[in-house]
Amino acid sequence: MSIPTTNKQAEEIGKANKRKYMLERASQRVFLLCALLSVITLLLIIGFVFYKGAHPFVAEGYSFIDFIFGSDWVPSEDKFGIFPMIVASIYATIGALIIGVPIGLFTAIFLAEIASERLAKIISPAVQLLAGIPSVLYGVFGLAIIVPFLQDTFGLVKGQSLIAVILVLAIMMLPTIVTVAETAIRAVPQTYREGSLALGVSQIGTIFKVIVPAAKSGIMTAIVLGLGRAIGETMAVILVAGNSLIVPTSLTDSVRPLTTNIALEMGYAFGTHQEMLFATGIVLFSFILILNFVLAKISAKGGS
């Protein structure tokens, strides 16, 4: 099969090979560069936020404890306390979980186990489309529908409230929870279902006693990802939260979560005020880091 080659031909083939290798190496570099880009961006963002945010505490003598536990936020009077916002962020996230997780989980179970293929083909894309809606539109929807609804139906003095935030966030975290949980449930081996059904367990019994426990780590991942979405959401929240600077004591109080504080005031802030907004960013960042840590733990457990 070998083709007799002259010197000239061999030279040409060698050249072609060389070119191929060079192209190969060059493209490897390009891929490496792309991969590094996100790492570099991450480091730059962390570095910048921490550099700016730490400055008032390191160089200007502000107390970090007062910053975290102070309940007064009056930048024009040099008072920077974000305790009400930390509480608001935590309440809003937990509230959204309480509403969003059961709905999301049941939707995922329905799509994976119960729904006919035809029905699933309609619902699944709809849920995924929900994820693609820009968050500010959720805010506008909240402001135009949820806020007046709360005012009119429950006679609230103001619809911009913790409960409005919770409702909007619960809707927003649905696609994340549904998509991830559905994948986890579908990944449960078919033999589990067959075994359970063969023993005479009903379908619902099989789902809750066998399938959900088997997909536990995937479902937990879904919840943590939804949590991350809720705590970091800004544009939708800013429109429905009311942004008051109080520690919320009821669902009807208007609140200002951490993200909203940054977005609301960054436009006009300068000097220490601006640095304190970056410091707010550090606190938010810590929350996200903790969440990611939890997520990594869950994934590790699921793997073993």
Partner 1 sequence: MISLKKVKMGLIMLSILTVLTACTNNNNNNNETQDSNGSNATVSISGSTSVGPLAEKLAAKYTEKDNTKIEINQIGSSAGITNAISGVSEIGMSSRDLKEEERANGLNEVVIAYDGIVVVTHPSNKVKDLTMEQIKQIFTGEVTNWKELGGDDLEIVVVSREDGSGSRDAFQEIVDYSSGELIRNSIIASGNGNIKTTVANNKHAVGFISFEYIDESISTIDINGVEATAENVLQEKYSLSRPFLFIYKEGQLTDAGQLFIDFILSEEGQLIAAEAGAIPVK
- For partner 1 (CB under 8 A), the number of binding residues is 32
Q: Which of 151, 183, 272, 299 binds partner 1 (CB under 8 A)?
A: 151
231 binds partner 1 (CB under 8 A): no
Q: Taking CB under 8 A as the criterion, which residues in 281-300 touch partner 1? A: none
Q: Is 218 exposed, middle or buried (0-12, 13-18, 19+ CB in 10 A)?
A: buried
Q: Which of 52, 158, 186, 216 binds partner 1 (CB under 8 A)?
A: 158
With respect to partner 1, which residue has the nearer C-beta, 191 or 249? 249
Q: Which of 182, 233, 253, 275 binds partner 1 (CB under 8 A)?
A: 253
Q: Which of 2, 268, 303, 304 binds partner 1 (CB under 8 A)?
A: 268
**C-beta separation of 77 from 245 below 8 A:** no
With respect to partner 1, which residue has the nearer C-beta, 227 or 238? 238
Tell me how far apart the 2 most distant CA atoms of the chain are, in Å: 93
Which residue type, as a one-letter code, is found at position 4? Answer: P
Residues near 168 by Cβ (< 8 Å), separated by ≥ 6?
A: 138, 139, 141, 142, 146, 236, 237, 240
Show the site string, 118-147: x = touches partner 1 by CB under 8 A, - = not. Answer: -------------------------x---x
Q: Which of 52, 55, 216, 273 binds partner 1 (CB under 8 A)?
A: 273
Q: Taking CB under 8 A as the criterion, which residues in 60-89 touch partner 1? A: 72-77, 79
CB of 78 to partner 1, least distance (A): 10
How remote is the C-alpha of 30 from its chain's centroid?
30
What is the rounded CA–CA span in Å between residue 9 and residue 255? 77
With respect to partner 1, which residue has the nearer C-beta, 79 or 121? 79
254 binds partner 1 (CB under 8 A): yes
With respect to partner 1, which residue has the nearer C-beta, 38 or 249? 249
Question: What does residue 200 show for φ and ψ, rounded to 5 degrees?
Answer: 95, 10
Using left for φ > 0, alpha for ψ between -120 and 50, and beta otherwise, residue 61 falls in: left
Only one residue has tokens 């008051």, namely 244
With respect to partner 1, which residue has the nearer C-beta, 152 or 194? 152
Nearest to 297 by CA among 229, 217, 214: 217
Nearest to 178 by CA among 91, 120, 94, 136: 120
Q: Which of 95, 142, 218, 242 binds partner 1 (CB under 8 A)?
A: 242
Using left for φ > 0, alpha for ψ between -120 and 50, and beta otherwise, residue 243 falls in: left
User: Which residue ranges make up the site for partner 1 (CB under 8 A)?
Assistant: 72-77, 79, 143, 147-148, 151, 157-160, 238-239, 242-246, 253-254, 256, 264-265, 267-270, 273
